[in-house]
Structure 1
Amino acid sequence: MTKDIPVCNCNEIHEDVLKNVKNDLPKDNCLLNLADFFKVFGDSTRIKIIYALYESEMCVCDIAELLDMTQSAISHQLRTLKDKGVVKYRKEGRTVFYSLDDEHIYEILNSGLTHICHK
Protein backbone atom coordinates (compact mmCIF):
# COMPACT_ATOMS: atom_id res chain seq x y z
CA MET A 1 0.00 0.00 0.00
CA THR A 2 1.39 3.42 -0.94
CA LYS A 3 0.99 6.43 1.26
CA ASP A 4 -0.80 9.42 -0.16
CA ILE A 5 1.22 12.57 -0.51
CA PRO A 6 -0.55 15.52 1.09
CA VAL A 7 -1.53 18.23 -1.38
CA CYS A 8 -2.67 21.78 -0.93
CA ASN A 9 -6.42 22.25 -1.27
CA CYS A 10 -6.27 25.96 -1.99
CA ASN A 11 -5.65 27.90 -5.19
CA GLU A 12 -3.75 30.77 -3.60
CA ILE A 13 -0.46 31.73 -5.26
CA HIS A 14 2.11 33.09 -2.81
CA GLU A 15 3.74 35.71 -5.03
CA ASP A 16 6.36 36.78 -2.46
CA VAL A 17 7.57 33.21 -2.03
CA LEU A 18 7.66 32.62 -5.78
CA LYS A 19 9.61 35.83 -6.38
CA ASN A 20 12.24 34.97 -3.74
CA VAL A 21 12.68 31.40 -4.91
CA LYS A 22 12.79 32.37 -8.57
CA ASN A 23 15.51 34.94 -7.86
CA ASP A 24 17.62 32.40 -5.95
CA LEU A 25 17.15 29.45 -8.30
CA PRO A 26 20.36 28.58 -10.16
CA LYS A 27 20.41 29.01 -13.94
CA ASP A 28 19.17 26.07 -16.03
CA ASN A 29 22.61 25.33 -17.50
CA CYS A 30 24.10 25.10 -14.00
CA LEU A 31 21.34 22.72 -12.91
CA LEU A 32 21.86 20.56 -16.00
CA ASN A 33 25.60 20.41 -15.28
CA LEU A 34 24.88 19.52 -11.65
CA ALA A 35 22.51 16.72 -12.67
CA ASP A 36 25.14 15.42 -15.09
CA PHE A 37 27.77 15.58 -12.33
CA PHE A 38 25.60 13.56 -9.94
CA LYS A 39 25.20 10.80 -12.54
CA VAL A 40 28.83 9.94 -11.78
CA PHE A 41 27.70 8.76 -8.35
CA GLY A 42 25.13 6.42 -9.92
CA ASP A 43 27.57 3.53 -10.23
CA SER A 44 28.77 1.52 -7.22
CA THR A 45 32.15 0.79 -8.82
CA ARG A 46 32.85 4.50 -9.23
CA ILE A 47 31.77 5.08 -5.63
CA LYS A 48 34.20 2.39 -4.44
CA ILE A 49 36.98 4.01 -6.46
CA ILE A 50 36.22 7.40 -4.93
CA TYR A 51 36.32 5.97 -1.40
CA ALA A 52 39.58 4.16 -2.17
CA LEU A 53 41.15 7.33 -3.58
CA TYR A 54 40.07 9.25 -0.51
CA GLU A 55 42.26 6.92 1.53
CA SER A 56 45.27 7.09 -0.79
CA GLU A 57 46.30 7.92 -4.30
CA MET A 58 46.51 4.71 -6.28
CA CYS A 59 47.47 3.37 -9.68
CA VAL A 60 45.10 1.41 -11.90
CA CYS A 61 46.80 -1.89 -10.96
CA ASP A 62 46.19 -1.28 -7.25
CA ILE A 63 42.56 -0.26 -7.73
CA ALA A 64 41.92 -3.28 -9.96
CA GLU A 65 43.39 -5.59 -7.32
CA LEU A 66 41.43 -3.92 -4.53
CA LEU A 67 38.11 -4.21 -6.34
CA ASP A 68 38.88 -7.56 -7.99
CA MET A 69 38.30 -6.15 -11.46
CA THR A 70 40.28 -5.90 -14.67
CA GLN A 71 42.58 -2.96 -15.28
CA SER A 72 40.57 -2.22 -18.41
CA ALA A 73 37.33 -1.94 -16.42
CA ILE A 74 38.98 0.32 -13.85
CA SER A 75 40.54 2.49 -16.58
CA HIS A 76 37.10 2.93 -18.14
CA GLN A 77 35.64 4.10 -14.82
CA LEU A 78 38.60 6.38 -14.13
CA ARG A 79 38.17 7.99 -17.55
CA THR A 80 34.56 8.83 -16.66
CA LEU A 81 35.60 10.19 -13.27
CA LYS A 82 38.39 12.26 -14.83
CA ASP A 83 36.09 13.66 -17.53
CA LYS A 84 33.66 14.85 -14.83
CA GLY A 85 36.40 16.47 -12.75
CA VAL A 86 36.19 13.96 -9.91
CA VAL A 87 39.72 12.56 -10.13
CA LYS A 88 43.07 13.83 -11.31
CA TYR A 89 46.30 12.02 -12.05
CA ARG A 90 50.04 12.43 -11.94
CA LYS A 91 52.75 10.44 -13.66
CA GLU A 92 55.78 9.06 -11.92
CA GLY A 93 57.95 7.37 -14.52
CA ARG A 94 55.71 4.86 -16.26
CA THR A 95 53.20 4.73 -13.40
CA VAL A 96 50.07 6.90 -13.32
CA PHE A 97 48.67 7.67 -9.88
CA TYR A 98 45.07 8.79 -9.43
CA SER A 99 43.65 10.87 -6.60
CA LEU A 100 40.49 12.82 -5.88
CA ASP A 101 40.42 16.18 -7.60
CA ASP A 102 39.70 17.94 -4.31
CA GLU A 103 38.21 17.45 -0.84
CA HIS A 104 34.73 18.44 -2.05
CA ILE A 105 34.32 15.15 -3.89
CA TYR A 106 34.58 13.11 -0.70
CA GLU A 107 32.37 15.57 1.18
CA ILE A 108 29.62 15.23 -1.45
CA LEU A 109 29.79 11.44 -1.36
CA ASN A 110 30.01 11.26 2.41
CA SER A 111 27.02 13.60 2.82
CA GLY A 112 24.97 11.26 0.64
CA LEU A 113 26.09 8.22 2.61
CA THR A 114 25.30 9.94 5.90
CA HIS A 115 21.82 10.77 4.60
CA ILE A 116 21.18 7.20 3.45
CA CYS A 117 22.54 5.53 6.58
CA HIS A 118 20.66 7.64 9.11
CA LYS A 119 17.24 6.51 7.85
Structure 2
Amino acid sequence: MDSINLIHPAKLDEAVKIARLLGNKTRIQILYLLEQRQFNVSELQEILQVEQSAISHQLKELRDYQLISQKRVGKSIYYQLTDPHILNTMDSILAHTEHVLAGRRHDGKPVDQEVQLNDAEE
Protein backbone atom coordinates (compact mmCIF):
# COMPACT_ATOMS: atom_id res chain seq x y z
CA MET A 1 0.00 0.00 0.00
CA ASP A 2 1.22 3.48 -0.81
CA SER A 3 2.26 5.69 2.05
CA ILE A 4 -0.35 8.23 3.08
CA ASN A 5 0.01 11.30 5.22
CA LEU A 6 -2.37 13.06 7.54
CA ILE A 7 -2.35 16.70 8.52
CA HIS A 8 -0.63 17.29 11.85
CA PRO A 9 -3.35 17.71 14.54
CA ALA A 10 -2.22 21.20 15.62
CA LYS A 11 -2.13 22.38 12.02
CA LEU A 12 -5.52 20.80 11.36
CA ASP A 13 -7.02 22.57 14.39
CA GLU A 14 -5.78 25.93 13.12
CA ALA A 15 -7.06 25.21 9.60
CA VAL A 16 -10.52 24.49 11.01
CA LYS A 17 -10.44 27.75 12.99
CA ILE A 18 -9.54 29.72 9.86
CA ALA A 19 -12.26 27.96 7.86
CA ARG A 20 -14.75 28.97 10.56
CA LEU A 21 -13.38 32.50 10.46
CA LEU A 22 -14.12 32.62 6.73
CA GLY A 23 -17.63 31.33 7.37
CA ASN A 24 -18.92 34.85 7.96
CA LYS A 25 -20.21 37.09 5.16
CA THR A 26 -19.11 40.32 6.80
CA ARG A 27 -15.56 39.08 7.39
CA ILE A 28 -15.27 37.89 3.79
CA GLN A 29 -16.48 41.27 2.52
CA ILE A 30 -14.03 43.07 4.81
CA LEU A 31 -11.12 40.98 3.52
CA TYR A 32 -12.23 41.60 -0.05
CA LEU A 33 -12.38 45.35 0.58
CA LEU A 34 -9.03 45.42 2.38
CA GLU A 35 -7.48 43.67 -0.60
CA GLN A 36 -8.28 46.85 -2.53
CA ARG A 37 -7.11 49.47 -0.01
CA GLN A 38 -7.06 50.52 3.64
CA PHE A 39 -10.32 51.47 5.38
CA ASN A 40 -11.37 52.78 8.76
CA VAL A 41 -14.39 51.48 10.68
CA SER A 42 -16.68 54.31 9.55
CA GLU A 43 -15.88 53.67 5.89
CA LEU A 44 -16.49 49.94 6.27
CA GLN A 45 -19.73 50.61 8.12
CA GLU A 46 -20.97 52.88 5.34
CA ILE A 47 -20.02 50.47 2.55
CA LEU A 48 -21.31 47.30 4.23
CA GLN A 49 -24.33 48.86 5.95
CA VAL A 50 -23.53 47.00 9.15
CA GLU A 51 -23.53 48.43 12.69
CA GLN A 52 -20.24 49.87 13.91
CA SER A 53 -20.07 47.42 16.82
CA ALA A 54 -20.45 44.47 14.43
CA ILE A 55 -17.72 45.83 12.13
CA SER A 56 -15.39 46.34 15.10
CA HIS A 57 -16.06 42.80 16.33
CA GLN A 58 -15.30 41.29 12.91
CA LEU A 59 -12.12 43.37 12.60
CA LYS A 60 -10.98 42.08 15.99
CA GLU A 61 -11.55 38.48 14.87
CA LEU A 62 -9.51 39.07 11.71
CA ARG A 63 -6.76 40.82 13.70
CA ASP A 64 -6.61 37.98 16.22
CA TYR A 65 -5.80 35.60 13.35
CA GLN A 66 -3.17 38.00 12.01
CA LEU A 67 -5.00 38.44 8.70
CA ILE A 68 -5.22 42.21 9.08
CA SER A 69 -3.40 44.92 10.99
CA GLN A 70 -4.25 48.42 12.05
CA LYS A 71 -2.46 51.74 12.06
CA ARG A 72 -3.41 55.08 13.51
CA VAL A 73 -3.57 58.06 11.16
CA GLY A 74 -4.50 61.16 13.15
CA LYS A 75 -7.61 60.26 15.13
CA SER A 76 -8.61 57.38 12.85
CA ILE A 77 -7.50 53.77 12.86
CA TYR A 78 -7.08 52.24 9.42
CA TYR A 79 -7.11 48.53 8.72
CA GLN A 80 -5.07 46.77 6.09
CA LEU A 81 -4.65 43.24 4.85
CA THR A 82 -1.42 41.69 6.11
CA ASP A 83 -1.64 38.05 5.02
CA PRO A 84 -1.65 37.60 1.23
CA HIS A 85 -2.14 33.82 1.65
CA ILE A 86 -5.74 34.37 2.65
CA LEU A 87 -6.39 36.00 -0.73
CA ASN A 88 -5.42 32.79 -2.52
CA THR A 89 -7.86 30.89 -0.33
CA MET A 90 -10.62 33.41 -0.98
CA ASP A 91 -9.95 33.41 -4.73
CA SER A 92 -10.19 29.61 -4.79
CA ILE A 93 -13.46 29.67 -2.85
CA LEU A 94 -14.93 32.35 -5.13
CA ALA A 95 -13.81 30.46 -8.25
CA HIS A 96 -15.53 27.35 -6.92
CA THR A 97 -18.74 29.28 -6.28
CA GLU A 98 -18.83 30.27 -9.96
CA HIS A 99 -18.95 26.57 -10.91
CA VAL A 100 -21.60 25.84 -8.30
CA LEU A 101 -23.79 28.77 -9.34
CA ALA A 102 -23.49 27.76 -13.00
CA GLY A 103 -24.45 24.17 -12.13
CA ARG A 104 -21.16 22.88 -13.48
CA ARG A 105 -18.21 20.98 -12.11
CA HIS A 106 -14.68 22.31 -12.32
CA ASP A 107 -14.16 20.48 -15.64
CA GLY A 108 -17.15 22.31 -17.15
CA LYS A 109 -19.46 19.28 -17.24
CA PRO A 110 -22.95 19.50 -15.74
CA VAL A 111 -23.14 18.55 -12.07
CA ASP A 112 -25.58 15.70 -12.71
CA GLN A 113 -23.25 13.99 -15.20
CA GLU A 114 -21.54 10.91 -13.77
CA VAL A 115 -17.89 11.18 -12.94
CA GLN A 116 -15.70 8.55 -14.59
CA LEU A 117 -12.61 7.71 -12.60
CA ASN A 118 -9.69 6.74 -14.78
CA ASP A 119 -7.46 3.97 -13.47
CA ALA A 120 -3.75 4.27 -14.10
CA GLU A 121 -2.84 3.18 -17.60
CA GLU A 122 -2.08 -0.50 -17.72
Query: TM-score band, normalised by the shorter chain?
Result: 0.7 to 0.9
Q: TM-score, normalised by structure 2?
A: 0.76
Cα distance in 2 for residues equivalent to 1:33 and 1:102: 15
Q: Select the residue among 33, 39, 43 that pairs with 2:24.
A: 43
Count of residues paired in the alignment: 100
Paired letter, 1:96: I
RMSD value over aligned CA atoms?
1.2
Cα distance in 2 for residues equivalent to 1:62 and 1:107: 25
Paired letter, 1:21: I
Cα distance in 2 for residues equivalent to 1:21 and 1:90: 44
Match of 2:109 in 1: none
Deviation at 1:80, TM superposition (A): 0.7
Cα deviation code 1:29-57 (max 9, x no counterpart): 11011111111110111111111111111
Paired letter, 1:106: L
Secondary structure, aligned partner of 2:80: strand
Unmatched runs of 5 consecutive residues or more in structure 2: 101-122
Match of 1:93 in 2: 74
Higher-RCO chain (CA-CA 8 Å, sequence separation at least 6): 1
Unmatched runs of 5 consecutive residues or more in structure 1: 1-15
Residue 62 in structure 1 maps to residue 43 in structure 2: yes
Match of 2:92 in 1: 111
Paired letter, 1:100: L
Higher helix share: 1
Deviation at 1:117, TM superposition (A): 1.1
Q: Select the residue among 58, 65, 68 that pairs with 1:84.
A: 65
Residue 52 in structure 1 maps to residue 33 in structure 2: yes
Runs of 4 or more above 4 Å deviation: none
Q: TM-score, normalised by structure 1?
A: 0.78
> Given that residues 66 and 83 in structure 2 are in contact (C-alpha distance below 8 angstroms), is that contact kept between their aligned partners in structure 1?
no
What pairs up with 1:2-13 in 2 under 5 angstroms?
none
